[in-house]
Amino acid sequence: MEPLSVFTDRNRLALLYHYCRLKLPSVRLGFGDFQRHLARTYHVYHAKQPTTPANYLASLAPLDWYLCSACISQDGRAWELLFATRTGQRDCLLVDALRARASRFYPRDMERQENVVQEFWTHLIVSQNDSVPILARYDGQRPLVPWLIRVFQNWLHSMGRIKHFDALPEDDIAPSLPVTSPSDSRWHDAFRQAAHEWLGEIAESDQLLLGLRWRYRMSQREVANLLNVNEGTITRRIDKLRDKCLDRIGKQLQSDGWSGEDLNEYILTEMASVLSDEPRLSADQIGRLVMQMGKELPQLLEQ
């Protein structure tokens, strides 16, 4: 069915299009592609819950829908914005919210956590086993980020980490990250303080390693190639850093009165947001450290 045969109110379409362009000026989606994606997502939603085109537009989350459609159309700036999107509860990056979920499935295995997040990210527009790509399933009738987190959680379940489970419906847009209760706020603040202190104590070479792995999302092999060392050396350095982190921050929290279980899991889970916000791991700082070594970051990472 052609787009114009679905949505006949041209003025309303034009108004919606220019609103999205005004709010997201760096994202370039042509009006023809705009109409095509609008017809496509309408049919995606209509197949699940029949509705009229007018009602569909009335309940559309326009900016989330526009960003998703531009990503499917492979607009580079749209991908940058999606990557930098922040979640509502802790104001952390979407990718770090995914890591927080992965850490609960693969506790104390940061390499596995990183791998499943990267694999999920590649399946956003690339089909897996002839299935519809993830972003192509988004119907625009709910906020995009909570929906992606929920889909990611179901995807982790489907890989067999938990044998018996009831998949959470994709239509359920309840926040996916755990809510921090008032009684937990003390430990959240104490942890961040201890983590920032530890990051200030480690060598610049270790700050560089953390920045490349978690700020720039480089794989261990990519880091090894950039630093001209063996990949096994990077693995050992990361393991050593993890052990130091657990020891230093764990002792601090215990001295503050922590008496609960799963302290190491708590530290590894919370660490992702600290690494993302740490000024010592900022893009400018990591770029400076790389230049001091006479190296250059790959051009794609500098953009």
Identify the pLDDT of residue 29: 93
Structure token digits, residue 169: 């419906």
The b/e string for 119-128 (b: 16+ C-beta within 10 A; e otherwise) is ebbebbbeee
Identify the pLDDT of residue 160: 57
Measure CA 293 to chain center. Answer: 30
Identify the pLDDT of residue 38: 94
Domain count, the chain: 3
Q: Which residue has the tokens 């989330």?
A: 64
CA distance 265 to 106: 10
In sequence order, what are the residues at sequence separation of 6 or more whose Cβ sits closer than 8 angstroms to the Cβ of residue 22? none
Query: Do 57 and 124 fall into the same domain?
Result: no
pLDDT beyond 70 at 243: yes
pTM over 0.75: no
Query: Do 269 and 249 fall into the same domain?
Result: yes
The predicted-structure confidence for 30-44, as pLDDT tens digits, reads as follows: 999 999 999 999 999
Query: Do 194 and 291 fall into the same domain?
Result: yes
pLDDT beyond 80 at 302: no
pLDDT beyond 60 at 288: yes
Choosing from 38, 58, 83, the residue where a domain stops is 83
Query: Do 199 and 288 fall into the same domain?
Result: yes
Identify the pLDDT of residue 17: 94
The predicted-structure confidence for 185-196, as pLDDT tens digits, reads as follows: 567 788 888 998
Under the banding of pLDDT at 50, 70 and 90, the label for residue 88 is: low
Query: Do 223 and 132 fall into the same domain?
Result: no
Query: Do 136 and 73 fall into the same domain?
Result: no
Choosing from 155, 179, 203, the residue where a domain stops is 179
Choosing from 179, 198, 219, the residue where a domain stops is 179
Query: Do 76 and 132 fall into the same domain?
Result: no
Q: Could you list the residue range(s) of the whole structural domain that residue 293 is in? A: 184-302
Query: Do 98 and 27 fall into the same domain?
Result: no
Identify the pLDDT of residue 129: 66
Query: Do 209 and 222 fall into the same domain?
Result: yes
Going from the C-alpha of 250 to that of each of 78, 119, 202, the distances in angstroms are 39, 31, 16
Query: Do 200 and 298 fall into the same domain?
Result: yes
Write the Ramachandran bin of 129: left for phi over 0, alpha for psi from -120 to 50, otherwise beta.
left
Under the banding of pLDDT at 50, 70 and 90, the label for residue 184 is: low
Query: Do 175 and 188 fall into the same domain?
Result: no
Query: Do 171 and 194 fall into the same domain?
Result: no
CA distance 240 to 214: 16
